[in-house]
Amino acid sequence: MTHTDDTKTPHLEVIPLGGMGEIGKNITAYRYEDEIMVVDAGLAFPDSHQMGIDLIIPRIDYLQQNAGMIRGWILTHGHEDHIGGLPYILPRLPKVPVYGAPLTLGLVREKLSEFGIKDHETDLREVDLNARFKIGKHFEIEYFRMTHSIPDNAGYILTTPAGRVLHTGDFKLDEHPADGQLSDLGRIEQAGKDGVLLLISDSTNAERPGRTPSEAEIAVNLEDVIANCKGRVFLTTFASQVNRIQNILNIAHRQSRRVIMEGRSMLKYAQVAQAVGHMNAPDPFLTNDEVGGMQDQQVLYICTGSQGQPMSVLSRLAFGNHAKIALRRGDSVILSSNPIPGNEEAVNLVINRLYEIGVDVYYPPAYRIHASGHGSQEELATVLNLARPKFFLPWHGEPRHQINHAKLAQTLPRPPKRTLIAKNGDVIRLSADEFKVTGTVPAGAVYVDGLGVGDIGDDVLLDRVNMSQEGILIMTAVLHPTPHVEVVSRGFVRANRDLDNQIRKVALDAIEQGTREKKRLEDVRDDMYGAVRRFVRKVTGRNPVLIPMIVD
Amino acid sequence: MTHTDDTKTPHLEVIPLGGMGEIGKNITAYRYEDEIMVVDAGLAFPDSHQMGIDLIIPRIDYLQQNAGMIRGWILTHGHEDHIGGLPYILPRLPKVPVYGAPLTLGLVREKLSEFGIKDHETDLREVDLNARFKIGKHFEIEYFRMTHSIPDNAGYILTTPAGRVLHTGDFKLDEHPADGQLSDLGRIEQAGKDGVLLLISDSTNAERPGRTPSEAEIAVNLEDVIANCKGRVFLTTFASQVNRIQNILNIAHRQSRRVIMEGRSMLKYAQVAQAVGHMNAPDPFLTNDEVGGMQDQQVLYICTGSQGQPMSVLSRLAFGNHAKIALRRGDSVILSSNPIPGNEEAVNLVINRLYEIGVDVYYPPAYRIHASGHGSQEELATVLNLARPKFFLPWHGEPRHQINHAKLAQTLPRPPKRTLIAKNGDVIRLSADEFKVTGTVPAGAVYVDGLGVGDIGDDVLLDRVNMSQEGILIMTAVLHPTPHVEVVSRGFVRANRDLDNQIRKVALDAIEQGTREKKRLEDVRDDMYGAVRRFVRKVTGRNPVLIPMIVD
């Protein structure tokens, strides 16, 4: 079923291709008549069943099929779940203007250049967070500033002949942001007065009561912790936490510690943020080679590894295999971060190793040194109250977050007339009096693994899961001159000659019986497969992936 | 290095074989001269790298090597991490008395019978929680009651010629336990006055400030939630939460709901708990077949699945594949539980599916309907203050928990003279003035998978991990009559004839060159392996597990 265009009422189609019913790989298309504009193109990280996958990007069949209609692209901010898919996606579509704020585009440029994509192959257009511009004939965009865990973060108002859409983008309402630049609630309120037909708002923390703590509170707590550290300090946070890192640079300056940045992504973000004026180091950064003569209490390392990534600086420090730095008693390690769901075990392992080394370790919740970048219920309510939308689309969340966001909206003085809990691929028809799903387009995950994009499907992942649980057993039957069977296994059981011999015999019996009965080769192979499967299950209680081969 | 016996001072050896530096598979041996007694024998669940493993039991080489010295065994309570290893371990050692409270032994009997172990093969001795008895010549045991998330939970005082050890067992200090039976703090205080040489105490929640909420508070909150449910209620919690389930039975009775127990383990625990008088259903349980004529608000299902286990009742309900029950709008699902680390993703999946069905879902932290069974810092401090030990061994925790427990002890008015952060296998020598690790014995994990116990080692697990990340590629080269190569893969890439052909050609080239050069068969095989590995890495960026076979 695809979208329909059967009426003449002016209507807009909102088509989430990623980030709806999930957290990650955000991308949304808007279509009005024969024009399409797109917002963001993010990536997602695999869950535990998507084994061996490096990352996931959204399917863009819909955009490819309608490539000629695409008039432009806007980016809300520079997080991976909003821009990480661009190097895979932009080259597959016609070159159109891509709008974004300075830091956002700085990070995009860096990313495209890593992929060998040349400047002239894209049309990046830097705008500020008050920019108003048109895309195609029908899309009028007004950016507005929203605070988040990265600077230059935008929401936008999209005005079309079918009505006005206000999309918050990712946000929290931080009253004391590190750069002093507040969310533009005035713009949301004005839009509310002018009339918002549809509000699309960030559902990430729709289950959390109250307000998300301000970045200012985190900075105060970090300064308390750092002030009490006697030796070297190693601090990790998300490399994209530019404002928090700015606060940490200021703290280091006040406490007479020089900062060393360690880890590729930490250096990259710092470089881009400095280039666009979002980071100003009060003292020049040092390299690790330059700290030789300094005292322990004069240095503060900011390093990668807040998610326990095995190759990160913090993991190498924790496991004692960093080439140049060895942790020791008296050092302090500060994790200004929480594990993202799925990373709990890796982070826990790092923390335990740090304790075993004997360093002092500081992390939430015992220390309130991290805050989410997404607003909690009071902040979500504020936006709903100001925007006063007719229709509401909870976005950037799994069903639990979307539905709690919807319930929250119903408790407010002016609840929306209708709320949709949408999924990726839904075609949502929007006009002055319509707000409903009228069809679907292809949407879902494209797996990126090594150099392959899309060459791994769910069948391949299922094999990986099966092999990970039970191992694999390969039987090669050679029929001539004398039938015999070779058995090789991986991940099945510890080398066991007796068991191998038994399996060989079971397989050989099946082969010999089949050949005596002059069965076809495929049937002989199936007989061997079945006999070995039953035998293995009976003797070991397991079901390895079985591969039977016959060499005639 | 093994333990040494080189002095004549009376000394006790404390030998943790599981549960020290980890949470799970608790087992501790004590040795005095030529006598050994053992405490508990639990199991643990695999982490994400121990793929396909069903469960983990402790290595007991030390006990097997010194089997003739074992005089008896005591059990602290009926949780799997304390008794789950018994069916694997008891049959491998001489029959000795095994002491435990009624519920604990009831659960042990059930477990042994599932494994086909006959009553006469073990010597289970039921005692109450004030029991005093001797094991061997030198071990005097006094049980005392401690509140926890299962009834009949014991700590114990072990008196030996070398001094007195007080082991809390797992505990929280619940001032309002469901069965009204308080922790015996008087016994701990008396021991403290008599002199505790060593305290071994539960470190699980050593990082949590304050007190763990009482079970009574949970019951009040559960009653609030259930009272507001209009339709059917489906509640899940740990099946071993006997006291909480008793509270829920009482709530159901007050609210005129009849209870249906669903799920094998829920029924098993209820049956054992009823048999020993720890559960009294105010109304008889119904079966699902008997609720036909009842109204929705008259039923309350208590079901398995609090950890998102795929075959549990709640998962089958959430995914719509329960044979007899289908959830529908108007139903309420209550999760009186938190995910155990590692189960977050599975539980999240179930919760999202429940939202998608449209049922109302209640779970922590939005609803305070679960509390840990382990005490927080204030409770740990209370025990330390009462026991006033000379030496302290934080147990039942990972290094982060042990070390925070140790730090907590140092903040108290009478800190221990020495604290050890021990590991499984450490031989800890204890006498009036000694408390140190003097050696190690083998300790670690035995993997149970299917029918196999110990037939999977770390090499097998490494193969599983590698195959899960990269898949496997099997090349079979047949040399006669004409050399040709078959390629089969699983979990590598989606079926791709071109790539298969290229790989075949690369392999065949290597084979033909090798045979031309009259290399040995192993060398030809290695050449094929190397050539294919390089080619696959270059073309796909991946490193599948490669299996080269040659049929001559």
Nearest CB among A352, A399, A451 relative to B398 is that of A352
Beta-bridge partner residues of B486: B476
In this predicted structure, what is the pLDDT of residue A440? 98
Do B471 and A460 lie within an 8 Å CB cutoff?
A: yes
**Residue in A with minimal Cα distance to B479:** A551
Catalytically active residues of B, by annotation: 202, 374
Phi, psi (5° rounding) for residue A298? -105, 5
Report the sign of the C-alpha dihedral through residues B268, B274, B279, B283, in that order. positive
Instruction: Label residue B100 by pLDDT band (50, 70, 90).
Output: very high
What is the rounded distance in angstroms from the CA atom of residue B114 to the CA atom of residue B272?
A: 14
Enter the tokens of residue A411.
């408790």
> Side-chain half-sphere of A371: how many Cα atoms within 13 Å?
28
* Cβ atoms within 10 Å, residue A117: 17
Q: Enumerate residues 6+ apart whose C-beta is below 8 A from B347.
A: B306, B307, B308, B335, B339
Eight-class DSSP state of A44? B
Task: Write out chain A residues lying below 8 Å of B474, CB-based.
Answer: 474, 488, 547, 549
Judged by CB atoms closer than 8 Å, whether chains meet at A463 and B398 is answered as no
Nearest chain B residue to A485 by CA distance is B551
> What was the ipTM of the complex prediction?
0.93
B residues 167..226 contacting A (CB < 8 A): 207, 209
Go through A463-485 and write b for each residue having 16 or more CB atoms within 10 A of its CB, e for each that does not.
bbbbbbbbbbbbbbbbeeeebeb
Question: A52 vs B471: CB contact, 8 Å cut-off?
Answer: yes
Which two three-digit tokens encode residue A257? Answer: 């510690």
The position carrying tokens 């110990």 is B454
Q: What is the pLDDT of residue B3?
A: 47
As a whole number of angstroms, the distance between CA A60 and CA A425 comes to 10
Q: What is the pTM of this model?
A: 0.94
Rama region for A169: left / alpha / beta (φ>0; ψ in -120 to 50; rest):
left
pLDDT of residue A551: 86
> In Å, what is the CA distance from A534 to each residue of A487, A529, A541?
16, 9, 10
Cβ contacts of A209 on chain B, cutoff 8 Å: 366
Q: Determine whether the interchain pair A460/B450 forms a contact, defined as Cβ–Cβ distance below 8 Å.
A: no
How many Å apart are CA A247 and CA A368, to the nearest integer?
15
Contacts of B344 in chain A (CB under 8 A): 341-342, 344
The answer to whether the peptide bond before residue A91 is cis (omega within 30 degrees of 0) is no
The number of residues making up chain B comes to 552
Contact flag B541-A452 (C-beta cutoff 8 Å): yes
Q: Among all residues of chain A, which has the CA nearest to that of B452?
A: A540
Calpha distance A398→A423 (Å, rounded): 9
The answer, yes or no, to whether residue B367 has pLDDT greater than 70, is: yes
What chain A holds in terms of domains, given with CATH numbers, is 11-210+372-453 (3.60.15.10), 215-362 (3.40.50.10710), 471-550 (3.10.20.580)
The tens-digit pLDDT sequence of chain A (552 residues) is 444 455 567 899 999 999 999 999 999 999 999 999 999 999 999 999 999 999 999 999 999 999 999 999 999 999 999 999 999 999 999 999 999 999 999 999 999 999 999 999 999 999 999 999 999 999 999 999 999 999 999 999 999 999 999 999 999 999 999 889 999 999 999 999 999 999 999 999 999 999 999 999 999 999 999 999 999 999 999 999 999 999 999 999 999 999 999 999 999 999 999 999 999 999 999 999 999 889 999 999 999 999 999 999 999 999 999 999 999 999 999 999 999 999 999 999 999 999 999 999 999 999 999 999 999 999 999 999 999 999 999 999 999 999 999 999 999 999 999 999 999 999 999 999 999 999 999 999 999 988 889 889 899 999 999 999 999 999 999 988 888 999 999 999 888 889 999 999 999 999 999 989 999 989 999 999 999 999 999 999 999 999 999 987
The helix/strand/coil state of B490 is strand
